[in-house]
Amino acid sequence: MNNCDIICAVSTAPGCGGIAVIRLSGKGCIELTDNVFASPSGKKLADCQANTVHFGEIRKGAEAVDEVVTALFRAPHSFTGEDTVEITCHGSVYIQQQIVQLLIDNGARSALPGEFTQRAFLNGKMDLCQAEAVADLIASSTAGMHRLALNQMRGGFGSELAKLRSRLLDFTSLIELELDFGEEDVTFADRSRLKESATDIEAVIRRLADSFGTGNAVKNGIPVAIIGETNAGKSTLLNLLVGEERAIVSDIHGTTRDAIEDTINLSGITFRIIDTAGIRNTSDTIEAMGIERTFKKLEQASIVLWIIDLTTPVEQTKALSQTILPKAAGKHLILILNKSDLLTSNELSAKYCQLSDISASARLCISAKQQTNTDQLQQELIKAAALPALSQNDVIVTNVRHYEALVHALRAIRHVLHGLDNGLPGDLLSQDIRECIHYLGEITGHITNDEILGNIFGKFCIGK
């Protein structure tokens, strides 16, 4: 990747729309645009002031391609920190292709995925976690995702990490200064104050790392596995929750042989609902593979909906509980007693009491077929999610790369605390402090390499 090149790309979504925006960035991009742009006044864009908009035509020789509006941004006051031009044209795919081809013919090249944002990072317009938040903001589909991405893009996360790195750098500087005066036995770093500060830093890093559970749930959705025996009503419940026929519903046992997944949004919380193969003894190899996947999905889920057919014998359900309950340990298990419409009120009460010794976080009787008590089930899901109310000022970790770096930083700062408690010499303390600084710097991009950058920005859309 050559950061001296002029790059161009369509920045709006692929396809035909009312308008499209084509972006150029790099030194000389304004002069390049002048080669294909003609304004009614005949004035060149290179002679115009920054942050101005100009109407005119994109021309291919004497032929007009389209009437456009062109916006100018001059370095360093642009998204990338470089001279930038944004051409707004009509949304015809043909027009977009013609304009991009004209720009390439005049010396630009097609931008790589995420290259505009990468240039913004390399030119100091944002740190690395802010750059990653750009992709999260584009992909946000709920209010919670939007709030967290916007806060991170505004620098909330990076600002907190910068404060930690600054304090750690002060510590290690004082300790290393002691090493320079080792023969004089001089102490510059007060060990009690150092421990107090390291304890505070450990608490902040731990809080950030612990927030990943919430951030990951907000960003990727909370996995909810629907499990149970064959024909208990799992697929009917999935279809009911997602509001469409996602799974085949049949009286034939073993219809669902693989996991079927879809998402729903309840009160701003995304749930990933997973319908699984019914659990039973089977000689069918394919069905057995599906049941094996059922138990894997159960282990991966945060919330488990165990749907029980109220018309089956209680003994059969209790026998199945010996398999399910150990695998659901530590998860939010909700018992869904289905087909309540097929029992009388007395039969229903008796069956409810008979199943009361099965340990669960919640239980409710429903009829998935008749759609009774489904509102109550939705409320139980929201309650089980237990996500805190989030604002744009909350610093919540949503990126697995950030989480892994925080875990390493947390281990390093705990080594510092252990070393202080055991009177380790300054050179060993300094090594642990610098390791913590290193991992915090990986998050913001103070310490990085081309492989990490390629992996991060390669996942962006072209044009951003």
Are the beta carbons of 301 and 334 closer than 8 angstroms? no
Q: Please indicate, yes or no, whether residues 191 and 44 belong to a single structural domain of this protein.
A: no
Model confidence, pTM: 0.71
Q: Please indicate, yes or no, whether residues 247 and 363 belong to a single structural domain of this protein.
A: yes
Per-residue pLDDT, 46: 95
What value does the mean pLDDT take over residues 264-293? 74
Confidence of residue 257 (pLDDT cuts 50, 70, 90): very low
Answer with the residue of higher pLDDT: 173 or 102.
102
Lowest mean pLDDT among 29-43, 176-190, 311-325, 326-340: 176-190
What value does the mean pLDDT take over residues 283-311? 78
Alpha-carbon span 404 to 398, nearest angstrom: 11
Per-residue pLDDT, 342: 87
Alpha-carbon span 340 to 342, nearest angstrom: 5
Number of structural domains (the chain) is: 3
Per-residue pLDDT, 428: 85
Alpha-carbon span 427 to 404, nearest angstrom: 26
Strand 362-365 and strand 332-338: the pairing is parallel
Per-residue pLDDT, 390: 62
Q: Please indicate, yes or no, whether residues 136 and 116 belong to a single structural domain of this protein.
A: no
The token duo for 305 is 């909906």
Q: What is the pLDDT of residues 219-230, one digit of tens each?
A: 888 888 888 887
Helices (H), 154-263: 156-180, 191-210, 212-220, 234-242
Mean pLDDT of the chain: 84
Q: Please indicate, yes or no, whether residues 266 and 408 belong to a single structural domain of this protein.
A: no
Q: Please indicate, yes or no, whether residues 123 and 271 belong to a single structural domain of this protein.
A: no
Answer with the residue of higher pLDDT: 275 or 93.
93
Q: Please indicate, yes or no, whether residues 203 and 236 belong to a single structural domain of this protein.
A: no
73, 74, 70: which is closest to 87 by C-alpha?
70
Is residue 447's pLDDT more than 80?
no
78-89 core/surface letters (b: 16 or more CB in 10 A; e: else): bbbbbbbbbbbb
Q: What is the pLDDT of residues 389-427, one digit of tens each?
A: 666 567 888 888 999 999 999 999 999 999 888 888 777
Let me know if residue 455 belongs to a domain.
Answer: no
Q: What is the pLDDT of residues 327-355, one digit of tens each?
A: 888 888 898 888 888 888 888 888 888 88
Q: Please indicate, yes or no, whether residues 117 and 145 belong to a single structural domain of this protein.
A: no
Confidence of residue 138 (pLDDT cuts 50, 70, 90): confident
Are the beta carbons of 262 and 294 closer than 8 angstroms? no
Q: What stretches of 267-400 adopt beta strand conformation (E)?
A: 269-275, 303-309, 332-338, 362-365
26, 32, 30, 22: which is closest to 118 by C-alpha?
26
Per-residue pLDDT, 146: 78
Q: Please indicate, yes or no, whether residues 92 and 117 belong to a single structural domain of this protein.
A: yes
Per-residue pLDDT, 375: 85
Q: What stretches of 279-340 adopt beta strand conformation (E)?
A: 303-309, 332-338
Residue range(s) defining the domain that contains residue 419: 132-211+395-445
**Beta bridge partners of residue 11, listed in sequence order:** none
Q: Which residues contact 452 (CB under 8 A, 6 or more apart)?
A: 442
**198, burial (CB in 10 Å: exposed 0-12, middle 13-18, buried 19+):** buried
Q: Please indicate, yes or no, whether residues 244 and 378 belong to a single structural domain of this protein.
A: yes
Are the beta carbons of 55 and 64 closer than 8 angstroms? no
Let me know if residue 451 belongs to a domain.
Answer: no
Let me know if residue 363 belongs to a domain.
Answer: yes
